[in-house]
Amino acid sequence: MTTDARANRMVEIALESGGALRIPVTHCRACGAEIFFARTLAGGLMPLSSRPAPDGGFVVTMLQPPTVAGYNDAIPSHRGAPRFSSHFADCPAAGEFRKRIALRKTAAA
């Protein structure tokens, strides 16, 4: 395994229109898990676990930039879309991670 191979990993999200959205995978600095970032509707960045989860609470709703929204069964385009879990929920070091994101947001404001 090379550093380059790691850097080129992508999450593929199949689109209703055919084809797939590809988002670069990164690694959680706290626990090393594979994650990707998507923008929230509020303008923040949310880390999502790179593997789709059937019961995940989030779907990617826009491609440029990748934008995440809470899964809503009442929205037709959400049903059948790949669902993801927030890495906030999965990360063993979530407390510290959340603090760091909050600091970053404050600095950008």
Q: What is the CA radius of gyration of the chain?
A: 14
**If DSSP codes are grouped into helix, strand and coil, which group holds residue 37?**
strand
Residues in the chain: 109
CB nearer Zn ion, residue 79 or residue 99: 99
Minimum distance, C-beta of residue 100 to Zn ion, in the bound complex (Å): 11
**If DSSP codes are grouped into helix, strand and coil, which group holds residue 86?**
strand
Residue from the set 31, 45, 69, 101 that interacts with Zn ion by CB under 5 A: 31
Cis previous bond, 65, omega within 30: yes
| Block residue for tokens 């199949």 | 14
Tokens (6 digits) for 92: 């063993």
* Per CB under 5 A, 25 contacts Zn ion: no
CB nearer Zn ion, residue 37 or residue 81: 37
Identify which range of 1-9, 23-31, 51-59, 75-83 contacts Zn ion by CB under 5 A.
23-31
* Per CB under 5 A, 68 contacts Zn ion: no
- What's the distance, CA 41 to chain centroid? 13
* Per CB under 5 A, 69 contacts Zn ion: no
Identify which range of 4-12, 15-23, 50-58, 84-92 contacts Zn ion by CB under 5 A.
84-92
Q: Which residues of the chain form contacts with Zn ion (CB under 5 A)? A: 28, 30-31, 33, 91
